[in-house]
Amino acid sequence: MRTYVLTIAILGALAAAAHAATEQQIGSWVVSCPDGSRECQMRSGKRFLDKAGITGDLEIESQGRSLVPVIALRGISSEILTAASLAGTTEASIQFPGGAWQALTCNTTKAGYICAPDETAGRILSAGLATAKSVKVRVSVSVAGMAPLPAQEKTLDLSGTNEALARLRSVGPSPIPAALATGGAGTQSPAGMMGMADKMMKAAGYPQGVSGLEGMIAKYMAK
C-alpha cells in the first residue's frame, strides 16, 4: 500500500513538472506550449487588458519567416465579435521607441480577435523588436451611429526579448491565423450589416441588440 501511494505521488509530481515546463518566463515574456501542440505562444507577461474574463495581450507570431508582434483579444463570445465586426470598426497600432506608429489590421479568427501588421509593417516591427526596451499599443473601437469610444493605450516594458525569441524559434511559433470568412457580409449595405448584427445579438440572448453593443464594449475598454 505504501509503495502504491508513493508511486502515485511520484507520478503526480512528474505530471505537475511536465505541465510547468510548458510555460516559461523569460524576462518580460512568457513562452507557453499547449500539450501536444507544435505551435507555441510568446506573449508579454503584462496584459494591457484583463477584465471579466476578457484578455488583451501583446503576442509574437510568425509571418512567413519573420516573428512579428500582434494584439490578441481573447475571451469574447463569437456572437459579440461577429456583431462588432459588422456594426463597428477597430483600429489598432504598435509603436517602438523612436519609431512611427504601425497600423494593424483586425479580424475575427478561430484563435480570437487578432490585430496583425501587413507584410511591410511586419518587416519594420520585426526588425525593431529584438532591441526595443518598451512598446506602446493602442486600440480604439467605434460602433456605427454612435460616438467613438476613448482609445485604450498602454506602454509595456520589454526585457529578455532576444532570449525569448530564440526559445520561440526553437519550439515553433504560432502563425498569424487566417481570418474567418464573413459569408459575403462585406457586399451588403451598411444598413444591411447593422440589421444582421442586430438580429445576431438578439438571437444570442442580448435583448438590446446592437444598441447595447456600445455599452458592452465600453465596459471592457474603460481605463
pLDDT tens digits for 81-110?
666 666 667 789 999 999 999 999 988 777
Q: What does 65-124 look like in DSSP terms, one character per residue?
A: TEEEEEEEEES--HHHHHHHHHHEEEEEEEE-TTS--EEEEEEEETTEEEEE--HHHHHH
pTM of this structure: 0.70
What's residue 84's pLDDT?
A: 63
Report whether pLDDT(34) > 90. no
Domains of the chain: 2-180+188-221 (2.60.40.1880)
Q: What pLDDT sits at residue 74?
A: 82
- Mean pLDDT, the chain, whole residue set: 75
The CA distances from residue 201 to 157, 164, 195, 204, in Å, are: 38, 40, 10, 5
Q: Is the pLDDT of residue 181 over 50?
A: no
For residue 160, pLDDT beyond 70:
yes
Lowest-pLDDT range of 100-104, 128-132, 174-178: 174-178
Q: How far apart are CA 147 and CA 157, in angstroms?
A: 32
Q: Which of 13-27, 77-91, 161-175 has the lowest mean pLDDT?
A: 13-27
What proportion of the chain, given as a percentage, has pLDDT over 90? 39
Q: pLDDT at residue 114 above 70?
A: yes
